[in-house]
Amino acid sequence: MSHLEIWIALVGMALVTIVTRALFLMAGERVTVPDRIQRALRYAPAAALAAIILPDLMTWQGHFTLAPSNYKLVAGAVALVFYLVTRRMVGMIVAGMAVYTAMRLLG
């Protein structure tokens, strides 16, 4: 890829980012989002986070696996259960990392 192509790609990405974010600011209160869509958008951050984290949890040593030998998946499951029981975010992180570290050291 040449320098010119890289700069064109960077400028294009910047323009797309600016336009998509500025549309909501420029439209202001003239555009109203229906309640149904507003309710659906509440779940967007959780869906984005799941889309980022789950593929990493479900791969082990470069392969997709749901086996107990997948330490990341086991630690993620323990962290999820811990959070659902206690609703403590920091405790969830500590529990997940403790299980992951223990499995790596002992396994």
Tell me the pLDDT tens digit for each residue of 14-58: 999 998 888 878 777 777 888 999 999 899 999 998 999 999 999
83 with 89: CB under 8 angstroms?
yes
Q: Check residue 58 and give its pLDDT.
A: 93
What is the band of 85 on the pLDDT scale with cuts at 50, 70, 90? very high
What is the band of 75 on the pLDDT scale with cuts at 50, 70, 90? very high
Looking at every residue in the chain, the average pLDDT score rounds to 92
Q: Check residue 24 and give its pLDDT.
A: 76
